[in-house]
Amino acid sequence: MDTLISALLLQAGYNAALVGIGAALLGVASGAAGTFLVLRKRALVSDAVAHATLPGVGLAFVAMVALGGDGRALAGLLAGSALSAWVGLLAVEWMTRRTRLPEDAAIGAVLSVFFGLGIVILTLIQTMSAGRQAGLEDFLLGATAGMLFSDAAMIAVGGAVAVALVWALRRPMTLVAFDAEYAAATGTDVRRVDLAMMALVMGVTVIGLKLVGLVLIVALLIIPPVTARFWTERSGRMVWGAAALGGASGYLGAAISASAPALPTGPIIVLVAAALFALSLLFAPARGVLAAMLRQRRFQARVHRRQGLLALARSEPILEPYTIRVLVAEGLLRRDGVATEAGRAEAARIARDEKRWEVAREIHRDAALTGRYDGLTPIDAVFTADEIAEFDRRLGPPMPVGGMA
């Protein structure tokens, strides 16, 4: 626990602090960029892009060695990965546009072919350059052990550029994600916006390769946005919510993995993001599962209460057990089915409300007002006291329920 707290306070050593900051920044960038990916419903394309980085990593290594370099220079490897990711992206694009292949089939094809090719290249490198461990397999699942200041700085710069681009392109990207046809009709180049969005995603993928690896980066692009979606109905807020959630996941995940030996950073970050997702799924106020259940139950109780009271007012028997339970719980009904004093009073009030609505619908032809009659809304929530007094004048004096008021 102590180690976790010190990791959270960036006190767990230089390397852990770098990893924590880097992971947080990566989370912010991927959350923001991933939002439009999710809104455009192209989340899986990013998975193809991520897997398509692998051949590039291997080929870049080979090229750098052939040129007499070290082969492990991160900038070179990432440039290579970006290049092959771009080729993979264009391949998916081309296949969906030029052939009758559905996008998911194109994604599957590109993803597996590029990944397979990458593994072959990596295996060849390992057997040929025996002794000189390239460490290229770290790009699969990420590795933080040898994180350098320059690595963290690269994530910081790349992440900042990505966030700035998301901000600058938020309007065209929103427009295209919501209604591509309208976007095109107003002169937006939908294909260019889509490519820009994917380039953004690719950039985030590339800067995240070292930290979380290509297999799991897609989780950081997708989970924070869908988590944020539970908390808002506005796309603008969703972007920043996803950025915040991604940043928190990165930071928290890095701290947890630093607090114990042998906890892999990338997977832990993804698990933290998934935990935040699960919490939101359950507890978010408007779209969460529990809130929806509660709302549904409360609504049901209101319906039964009102129907039960109207039955009382008409001196009809109440048959449904649930209705009886609701009324008994409120002390409006005795267990033997006879209304209490309070129950009769409430029944009279509800019956009057219903009658007032009837009059209101007769007098007011205005659909905007009377259209709000749903059987549950009390009339004083819609009409003013003066208007209700007018309804009452037409109705005559109130009638007691059950004979003994």
Partner 1 sequence: MTPPASLKLASHEGRAAEAAPGPEAALAIRGLTVSYGQTPAVFSADATFPARTMSAIVGPNGAGKSTLLKAALGVIPRVSGEVTAFGRPVAEARERIAYVPQRASVDWDFPATAGDVVLMGLYRRMGLLGRVTGAHRRTVRACLGRVGMADFEGRQIGELSGGQQQRVFLARALAQGADLYLLDEPFAGVDAATERAIIDVLKALRDEGRAVVAVHHDLSTVTRYFEHVLMLNVRPVAEGPVETAFTAEALDATYGGRLAATHMDSLILATA
Which residues bind to partner 1, rule: CB under 8 A? Answer: 39, 41, 168-169, 171-172, 174-175, 177-179, 181-182, 184-187, 229, 232-235, 237-238, 367-368
CA 126/CA 363 separation, integer angstroms: 86
CB of 1 to partner 1, least distance (A): 38
**SS3 of residue 333 by DSSP:** strand
Residue 125 CB burial class (10 angstroms; 0-12, 13-18, ≥19): buried
Which helix (H) or strand (E) is 3 found in, with range?
helix 2-8
CB of 340 to partner 1, least distance (A): 39
CB of 131 to partner 1, least distance (A): 53
Give the residues across from 339 on adjacent strands. Answer: 333
CB of 236 to partner 1, least distance (A): 8
Which of 25, 302, 296 is closest to 288 using CA atoms?
A: 296
Residue 2 CB burial class (10 angstroms; 0-12, 13-18, ≥19): exposed
- Pick between residue 177 and residue 351 the one whose CB is nearest to partner 1: 177
- Pick between residue 104 and residue 320 the one whose CB is nearest to partner 1: 104
CB of 379 to partner 1, least distance (A): 18
- Pick between residue 227 and residue 259 the one whose CB is nearest to partner 1: 227
Instruction: Give CA 215 to chain center in angstroms.
Output: 20
The alpha-helical segments, DSSP class H, found in 230-264 are 235-259
- Pick between residue 237 and residue 298 the one whose CB is nearest to partner 1: 237
Q: How many CA atoms within 13 Å lie on the side-chain side of 134?
A: 28
CA 352/CA 333 separation, integer angstroms: 19
Tokens of 296: 């549904």
- Pick between residue 25 and residue 193 the one whose CB is nearest to partner 1: 193
CB of 214 to partner 1, least distance (A): 28
- Pick between residue 179 and residue 341 the one whose CB is nearest to partner 1: 179
CB of 24 to partner 1, least distance (A): 24
- Pick between residue 168 and residue 338 the one whose CB is nearest to partner 1: 168
Contacts of 119 (CB under 8 A, 6+ apart): 54
- Pick between residue 171 and residue 394 the one whose CB is nearest to partner 1: 171
Answer for the pair 275, 223: CB distance below 8 angstroms, yes or no.
no
Task: Tell me which amino acid residue 200 is.
Answer: L
CA 311/CA 304 separation, integer angstroms: 10
CB of 301 to partner 1, least distance (A): 23
Tokens of 15: 């390397």
